[in-house]
């Protein structure tokens, strides 16, 4: 069963297709032969970082920037409102 989906090669996040728990490994990530280890319990439909995202770096899904990391986000960490600042409605991408 697939646990996550990456929508575009530019994406640095994946969307979960099931609930996951700390220590689970997601193997559905292109370019990540060993998979991505999950760092905490995360519910279905939420996003995970598929690589480290630096503070202030663009967060990309569907090949489009939808926010900036408000703090460093580790690979396998939950990506949500607690660590992403929206850039929508601010006059541009980035």
φ, ψ at 21 (rounded to 5°): -125, 165
Mean pLDDT for the chain overall: 93
Residue 82 in this model has a pLDDT that exceeds 60: yes
At 28, is the pLDDT very low, low, confident or very high (cuts 50, 70, 90)?
A: confident
**Res. 74: pLDDT tops 70:** yes
Angstrom distance (rounded) from CA 61 to CA 69? 13
pLDDT at 94: 47
Q: In this model, does residue 30 exceed pLDDT 60?
A: yes
Q: How far apart are CA 55 and CA 82, in angstroms?
A: 13
49 vs 28: which has the higher pLDDT: 49
pLDDT over 80 (residue 90): no
């Amino acid at each position: 069963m697939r646990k996550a989906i990456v929508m575009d090669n530019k994406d640095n996040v994946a969307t979960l297709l099931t609930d996951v728990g700390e220590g689970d490994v997601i193997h559905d990530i292109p370019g990540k032969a060993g998979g991505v280890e999950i760092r905490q319990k995360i519910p279905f439909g939420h996003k995970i970082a598929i690589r480290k995202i630096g503070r202030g770096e663009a967060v990309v899904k569907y090949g489009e920037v939808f926010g900036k990391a408000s703090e460093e986000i580790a690979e396998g960490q939950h990506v949500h409102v607690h660590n992403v600042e929206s850039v929508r409605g601010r006059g541009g991408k980035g």
